[in-house]
Amino acid sequence: PPRSTPKPSSAASDVYKRQFMINISNKPFDLKSLNDLILNQTPIKLADDVILKIESCRSYLDSKIGSSEAAIYGINTGFGALYNVKITVSNLIKLQENLVRSHACGAGAFVPQPIIKLMLLLKIKALCYGHSGVQLKTVQRLVDFYNCDILPVVYTQGSLGASGDLAPLAHIALSIIGEGEVWYMGRQQATSKVLKEKGWSPISLQSKEGLALLNGTQFMSAYALHCLLTSYKVSYLSDLIAALSLEAFNGRLEPFDRLVHSVRPHKGQIITAERISKFLEGSLLMREKKNHVQDPYSFRCIPQVHGASKDTLEFVRQTVLTEINSVTDNPNIFVEEDVIISGGNFHGQPLAFALDYLKIAMAELGSISERRTFQLISGLRGLPSFLVDKPGLNSGLMIPQYTAASIVSANKQLATPASVDSIVSSNGQEDHVSMGANAATQAVQIVENVEQILAIELINASQALFFRSHKTAPFLEKFITAFREAVPKVTKDRIFHKDLQKSLEFLKSLTLENELFLEDQTD
């Protein structure tokens, strides 16, 4: 690296002595590498080419400010509606610090720490393109925070999803200047205390830096990335549990025949039909003679419904990958072209649409899952009512379906598009916003809700299979055997809340191979 590269502090040296680190370069992130990075908690470092770009851009900006008195938005002017107020050179540093402090007004619940860590990673990536004018040591401090799991305390409420995720990112920036609070060593602590413990000095923000840190879509992007990666797993589990329910309901296999899907070749539909057919290979239950000609839509149309959600994930994937490999602050500095342009790359409309679409797609996986649960407990096809012996004396699995129905209804409310709303801010200067941040927090709720709905369906499918004379397919049999160690057969009424918890924990504990839940995004 160039001689000017700042060395990591000695307090972080244990991290940097590790043999393997991931270079953050100008090469675009892809989902698999990001997933591996998250799962393995691999430390990161700035690539040489990135260091040169960051330093070159900062030098250019310093030269530009020193040689010109022209007003440059956010660099020597006020912000938002105060864009016409010129700031003297002597106050440029104070301007950036005031910006950070005044915008750190988040409210609501804490952002989950894994998402905060993603925010750090994505902000580092955006600054690495060399169009933001930040100091190298500012980016390096973000890297140190990421590697040492020093995570700024950020709140879920405050972003309008335009002009960047201002309030959430301001809480990230606060930690850079040694203020606010961070999560460290399992507890919430004053940033100043942690910096002192590490032997680090607060960063003195130079011109443009506060704006570069605050402008950007990293709150929305981090939520979107987290939801997307989880959604691939949920999509896979939806297919797996649906196959079990199909077996338990004595359903028909013909709707999954490749000929059906060859004449309506939506990619997700084909993947779903092929996957479930593979799950059901060797099933004696599927070979049984059927007394019914058709199954309800929640079984017969699994490929079409689950497949549509898969196709939605593909759209979301493309949007998210474009966003996290982009420069989203303002103004943008183009060194080679010798120009600084104030634009609108901070506007979250693309992410807002994608997150709303994701919300709808995942809510539908929960909706059709609940319908399969309803069919399983309805006393049809040789199954006892509510899947228990002596129904009446025992309520059996009557009320878990109520719980699933309640969650499905909540998802319908959460899935209402946030992006159709807007509200004027900054005295009319910011007169159209995306509300993508609201879509982001709603999306994570929906994805978590769908996991619980699937956990309820799994309990019902497992219980229903106890009443069948044949075993299910070999692959599914292994899965259900492992599950029954956590949730055994229901022989009489018990506290089913515990079963719901254990079923959800079982699903969350599953570590799937990457290709199982990322295969849907391959070309």
Q: Give 459-485 pLDDT, tens digit per residue.
A: 999 999 999 988 899 999 999 999 999
Give the pLDDT band of residue 116 (cuts 50, 70, 90).
very high
Buried/exposed code over 2-13 (b: 16+ C-beta within 10 A; e: otherwise): eeeebebbeebe
Q: Please say if the pLDDT value at position 516 is more than 70.
A: no
Q: What is the pLDDT of residue 502?
A: 98
Structural tokens at position 360: 């709808």
Give the pLDDT band of residue 492 (cuts 50, 70, 90).
very high
d(CA 353, CA 351): 5
> 457: closest CA among 265, 299, 308, 328?
299
Taking residues 139-146, report their average pLDDT. 98
Of residues 273 and 291, which shows the higher confidence score?
A: 273
395: number of Cβ within 10 Å: 13
DSSP state of 391: B
Q: What is the pLDDT of residue 88?
A: 65
Rounded to the nearest integer, the mean pLDDT of the chain is 91
Residue 345, helix vs strand vs coil: coil
Q: Give 216-254 pLDDT, tens digit per residue.
A: 999 999 999 999 999 999 999 999 999 999 999 999 999
- The two beta strands, 44-46 and 151-152, are unpaired
Long-range contacts of 38-43 (CB under 8 A, 24+ apart): 38/114, 38/118, 38/229, 43/15, 43/16, 43/18, 43/146, 43/147
Q: What is the pLDDT of residue 3?
A: 35
Amino acid in the structure at residue 302: I
Q: Are 495 and 12 in contact (CB under 8 A)?
A: no
Q: DSSP secondary structure string, 272-314?
A: HHHHHHHHTTT-HHHHSPPS-S---HHHHTHHHHHHHHHHHHH
Maximum Cα interatomic distance, the chain, rounded to a whole number of Å: 88
Tell me how many degrees the CA angle 236-241-242 measures, rounded to the nearest 5: 95
Taking the CA atoms of 195, 218, 54 and 27 in sequence, report the sign of the dihedral they define: positive
Give the pLDDT band of residue 90 (cuts 50, 70, 90).
low
Q: Give 351-378 pLDDT, tens digit per residue.
A: 999 999 999 999 999 999 999 999 999 9
Give the pLDDT band of residue 522 (cuts 50, 70, 90).
very low
218: number of Cβ within 10 Å: 28
Taking residues 175-195, report their average pLDDT. 97
Q: Are 520 and 313 in contact (CB under 8 A)?
A: yes
Q: Which of 16, 60, 73, 184 is catalytic?
A: 73
> 349: closest CA among 361, 341, 357?
357
Taking the CA atoms of 74, 80, 82 and 84 in sequence, report the sign of the dihedral they define: positive
Taking residues 60-67, report their average pLDDT. 87
Q: Give 384-429 pLDDT, tens digit per residue.
A: 999 999 888 999 999 999 999 999 999 999 999 999 998 888 777 7
For residue 236, indicate whether it is catalytic.
Answer: no
List CB contacts of 14: < 8 A, sequence separation 6 or more: none
Q: What is the pLDDT of residue 159?
A: 94
Q: What is the pLDDT of residue 4?
A: 41
Residue 25, helix vs strand vs coil: coil
Amino acid in the structure at residue 196: K
d(CA 295, CA 249): 9
Q: Give 151-165 pLDDT, tens digit per residue.
A: 999 999 999 999 889
Cα radius of gyration (the chain)? 26
H helix or E strand, kind and range, residue 495: none
Q: What is the pLDDT of residue 278?
A: 96
CA end-to-end distance (rounded Å), the chain = 36
